Amino acid sequence: MGDLALRLSGISKRYARRQVLDDVGLSIDRGSFSGLLGPSGSGKTTLLRIAAGLEDPDAGTVTLDGQVVWGPASSIPPERRGVGMVFQDLALWPHMTARQHLEFVTGGRTSERRRNVEEWLERVRLLDRAEARPGELSGGERQRLAIARALAPAPRLLLLDEPFKSLDEPLATVLAREVRELVRRAGATALLVSHARAEALALCERVAFLHGGRVLLEGSPGSMLEDTAPEAVRSFYRGLTAPIVGREVSK
Ligand code: ADP
Ligand code: MG
């Protein structure tokens, strides 16, 4: 229990007549880089929003680092969950410089915090762009700023919801690897949502496949491509071959 960064159990969520999540369970090991996969509309975003506290489930329990943050007797608001988020819509602040983004989330003023901000600007290669606003940054730079903003306050869990979707393929691959490395160096735990078939398999140590409101399969990336996987998983991955799994995508 103590090694789990996130534990979701019995999570259900219904919108109007649609049961989007139906008794979903998911456990994420501390320090891991995990993936949540599944077709469009399978409830991936809804599940992340529930973990972050942006949405309340109809039933179930959300536990972060052993602390129940949502359950029959508790409801901890998002700002007190220590969860960092990067969504496809990066939600950067247009009037703030890159440096101000990081100062804002870290408190900004003491010398220790200033050092932290400098360190993050350097880690995401934005030191020379520190005084630029989002409108003046490239797509990749904006992405890296969003990642730094999420990681700088040292969240206990980082949730990534298709953060590379708007970027073209080679850049998305490079950034995805960079993010994984940043997460690892920060000693953080990350859960990456993706519907890009190869991406999550190549990046993640563990993956869960969501379909029809349930986790159909949870395991190693390779398990998604095995003949014994449920039909919905096999049909999602049809045509994708095994060598992609665990491969270090070059360039
Ligand atoms: P995914 O991220 O896997 O594509 P989502 O979690 O965004 O899936 O959505 C799952 C389903 O829930 C979709 O059918 C979507 O239309 C529906 N849904 C998501 N959010 C809402 C909402 N706020 N109100 C009504 N329906 C919603
Ligand atoms: Mg989504």
Cα 61 to Cα 63: distance, rounded to the nearest angstrom: 6
Distance 64 CA to ligand 1 centre (A): 23
- State yes or no: pLDDT of 250 exceeds 60: no
Mean pLDDT of 134-155: 93
Q: Kindly identify the ligand whose nearest atom is closest to the C-alpha of 40.
A: 1
Distance 83 CA to ligand 1 centre (A): 21
Distance 91 CA to ligand 1 centre (A): 19
35: left (phi over 0), alpha (psi -120 to 50) or beta: beta
SS3 231: helix
Distance 170 CA to ligand 2 centre (A): 22
- Amino acid 37 reads L
Mean pLDDT of 145-155: 93
Q: Kindly identify the ligand whose nearest atom is closest to the C-alpha of 19.
A: 1
- State yes or no: pLDDT of 131 exceeds 90: yes
Whether ligand 1 lies within 6 angstroms of the CB of 45 is answered as yes
| pLDDT above 90 coverage of the chain, percent | 69
pLDDT of residue 30: 95
Q: How confident is the model at residue 108 (pLDDT cuts 50, 70, 90)?
A: low
Closest residue by Cα to atom 18, ligand 1, is 15
Q: Which has the higher per-residue pLDDT, 98 or 177?
A: 98
* 250 token code pair: 């070059």
The architecture (CATH level 2) of 4-82+156-231 comes to 3-Layer(aba) Sandwich (3.40)
Mean pLDDT of 13-27: 95
Distance 115 CA to ligand 2 centre (A): 35
- State yes or no: pLDDT of 195 exceeds 90: no
Cα 76 to Cα 79: distance, rounded to the nearest angstrom: 8
Whether ligand 1 lies within 6 angstroms of the CB of 212 is answered as no
Whether ligand 1 lies within 6 angstroms of the CB of 46 is answered as yes
- State yes or no: pLDDT of 170 exceeds 90: no
SS (H, E, C) 120-173: HHHHCCCHHHCCCCHHHCCHHHHHHHHHHHHHCCCCCEEEEECCCCCCCHHHHH
Mean pLDDT of 100-104: 94
* pTM, to two decimals: 0.90
Q: How confident is the model at residue 171 (pLDDT cuts 50, 70, 90)?
A: confident
The domain spans of the chain are 4-82+156-231, 94-154
Whether ligand 1 lies within 6 angstroms of the CB of 40 is answered as yes
- State yes or no: pLDDT of 251 exceeds 60: no
- State yes or no: pLDDT of 243 exceeds 70: no
Mean pLDDT of 58-75: 94
